[in-house]
């Protein structure tokens, strides 16, 4: 028996209503997504104009540095350094090292922090000298567990002595003993780049050791290590990376030859310390580095891990790369740019970091990305407080380095790619509604009145 026409029509009507209801629900969901996306894009675009986190003078303290140091100390007290050790070989060591060095350079900016800085830095030093601090480094490598371990530890001790103006005789004696060990190892070595691990050597690991020797000479007014430093510089500059003219990233551990191409991860470390060792060399190296590694990402200034024209993968040194850009090197570059008077570049990186880093401040603490990567927060604080220990401005360029004043506009233009899909359906809906209203008015005007 055939189904009644009215029953079939009723079922079609119900199906049509369900279809329309699903369509409108999907449309509302898409509209909500567009609204959220637009709000997020607008938020990040506005945040690009936030004030820089950096101080405009090497003798001033960045506004939020104390909050950052408080947050980092709480993280270290919570054993996060051990967690960082699971991510990369020097995670534990670097967590305490950079925290201690940040305190050192804070006190150099404002001497009122000197007593607390020495206390905090010595606390970090005890962790570097602990069994856990030494664990990743080979015992047999000279001068003491290899160059990385010895040079950086001596560099931190030199910072403590500098804050104390060389008046602590016990501290100065320990510094001299460590510097003597470094000096002896360098003099006996056939390469200026002493090994940090059994297989190879990283030139950037030797630079903090040379910086420590230079610091001791400055504090004492003597030239105890002058010849060692001079010889090291001569040997190191004969081993530049031929591609860039910069100090290489790695070298043969026995001869210092077979150097690899320069990379940003190590350059930002060496460039930070070179002004106090040799200001002219530092100036020339920075100019070369900026020429080959400076770039942008979505308009924001940043640095490449490998020099322009050369591609490569990220590794345990650099971390993951974003289209060749190194996040860790860019963070430290913020401080390096300050040191070389490249203030606009430093501020641009700082403002971009305050945007994408989503800093959170509560009470007397400040962290980035909700503090999920404590070593990242420690590195940011270390970058914010960067300054030479002794050098003045002879390592600055004769003319300011260029940076586009309108660097944010590229970000704004790219943001339109997200905002336009939202604007189009809204505009179309409004135009359609207005057209219907006009048709209705026109229809009302053309209908003759009923008499």
Residue reference for tokens 């209705």: 440
Is 441 a member of any domain?
no
Q: What are phi and psi of 203, to 5 degrees?
A: -55, -35
pLDDT digits (tens, 9 = 90+) for 13-32: 656 666 666 656 676 777 67
Q: What are phi and psi of 119, to 5 degrees?
A: -65, -45
Is 410 a member of any domain?
no
At residue 6, does pLDDT exceed 90?
no
Neighbours of 311 (CB within 10 A): 10
Instruction: Give pLDDT, residue 451.
Output: 47
pLDDT band at 404 (very low <50, low <70, confident <90, very high): confident
Instruction: Give pLDDT, residue 440.
Output: 57
Say how many Å lie between the first and final Cα of the chain, rounded.
52
Residue reference for tokens 């959170």: 360
Is 381 a member of any domain?
yes
Q: What's the full length of the chain, in residues?
A: 451
Contact 251, 367 (CB under 8 A): no
pLDDT average, residue stretch 441-447: 54
Q: How many domains does the chain have?
A: 1
Is 244 a member of any domain?
no
pLDDT average, residue stretch 81-90: 90
pLDDT band at 410 (very low <50, low <70, confident <90, very high): confident
What's the rounded Cα separation, in Å, for the pair 22 and 443?
33
Residue reference for tokens 């991860």: 265
Domain that includes residue 76, residue range: 59-87+276-398
Which residues, at least 6 apart from 58, have a Cβ–Cβ distance to it below 8 Å? 109, 338, 387, 388
Worst-scoring range by mean pLDDT, 31-35, 106-110, 155-159? 31-35
Q: DSSP 3-state assignment of 301? A: strand
Is 432 a member of any domain?
no
- 374-384 vs 327-339: helix crossing angle, rounded to 10: 20
Across all residues in the chain, what is the average pLDDT?
88
pLDDT average, residue stretch 81-85: 92
CA angle 116, 59, 164 (to 5 degrees): 40
At residue 202, does pLDDT exceed 50?
yes
Evaluate the CA torsion angle 308, 310, 316, 320 in order and state its sign: positive
pLDDT average, residue stretch 215-231: 97
Residue reference for tokens 């939202």: 422
Is 358 a member of any domain?
yes
pLDDT digits (tens, 9 = 90+) for 243-299: 999 999 999 988 888 999 999 999 999 999 999 999 999 999 999 999 999 999 988
Q: How far is CA 101 from the centre of its chain?
A: 16
Is 119 a member of any domain?
no
At residue 441, does pLDDT exceed 80?
no
User: Residue 329 to residues 52, 305, 310, 326: CA-CA distances in angstroms?
Assistant: 19, 7, 17, 5
Which segment, 7-16, 68-77, 292-301, 439-448, is predicted with the most confidence on average?
Answer: 68-77
Instruction: Give pLDDT, residue 425.
Output: 60
Residue 134 tokens read as 């030494």
Global pTM reads: 0.87
Please list the residues that pair with 77 across neighbouring strands: none
Is 344 a member of any domain?
yes
More confident residue, 392 or 120: 120
Neighbours of 172 (CB within 10 A): 18
Residue 202 tokens read as 């990283």
């Amino acid at each position: 028996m055939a189904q009644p026409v009215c029953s079939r029509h009723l079922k079609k009507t119900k199906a049509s209503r369900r279809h329309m209801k699903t369509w409108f629900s999907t449309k509302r969901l898409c509209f909500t997504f567009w609204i959220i996306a637009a709000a997020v894009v607008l938020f990040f675009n506005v945040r690009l104009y936030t004030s820089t986190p950096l101080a405009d003078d090497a003798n001033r303290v960045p506004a939020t540095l104390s909050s950052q140091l408080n947050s980092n100390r709480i993280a270290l007290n919570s054993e996060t350094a051990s967690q960082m050790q699971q991510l990369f070989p020097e995670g534990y060591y670097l967590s305490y090292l950079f925290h201690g060095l940040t305190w050192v350079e804070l006190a150099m900016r404002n001497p009122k922090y000197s007593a607390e800085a020495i206390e905090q830095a010595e606390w970090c030093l005890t962790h570097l000298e602990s069994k856990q601090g030494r664990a990743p480094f080979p015992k047999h490598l000279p001068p003491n567990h290899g160059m990385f371990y010895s040079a950086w530890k001596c560099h931190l001790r030199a910072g403590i002595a500098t804050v104390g103006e060389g008046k602590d005789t016990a501290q100065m004696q320990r510094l001299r003993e460590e510097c003597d060990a470094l000096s002896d190892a360098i003099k006996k070595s056939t390469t200026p780049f002493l090994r940090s691990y059994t297989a190879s050597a990283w030139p950037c690991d030797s630079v903090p050791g040379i910086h420590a020797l230079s610091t001791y000479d400055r504090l004492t007014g003597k030239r105890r290590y002058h010849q060692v430093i001079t010889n090291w510089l001569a040997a190191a500059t004969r081993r530049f990376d031929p591609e860039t003219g910069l100090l290489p990233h790695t070298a043969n551990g026995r001869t210092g030859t077979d150097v690899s191409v320069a990379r940003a991860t190590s350059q930002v470390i060496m460039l930070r310390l070179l002004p106090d060792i040799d200001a002219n060399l530092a100036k020339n190296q920075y100019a070369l580095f900026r020429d080959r590694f400076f770039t942008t990402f979505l308009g924001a200034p940043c640095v490449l891990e490998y020099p322009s024209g050369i591609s490569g993968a990220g590794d345990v040194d650099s971390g993951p790369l974003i289209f060749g850009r190194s996040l860790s090197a860019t963070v430290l570059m913020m401080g390096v740019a300050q040191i070389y008077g490249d203030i606009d570049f430093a501020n641009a990186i700082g403002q971009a970091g305050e945007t994408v880093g989503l800093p959170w401040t509560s009470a007397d603490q400040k962290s980035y990305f909700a503090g999920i990567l404590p070593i990242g927060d420690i590195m940011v604080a270390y970058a914010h407080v960067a300054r030479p220990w002794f050098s003045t401005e002879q390592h600055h360029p004769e003319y300011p380095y260029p940076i586009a004043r309108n660097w944010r506009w590229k970000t704004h233009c790219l943001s339109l790619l997200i905002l336009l899909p939202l604007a189009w359906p809204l505009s179309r809906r409004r135009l359609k509604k207005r057209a219907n209203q006009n048709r209705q008015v026109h229809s009302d005007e053309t209908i003759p009145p009923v008499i």
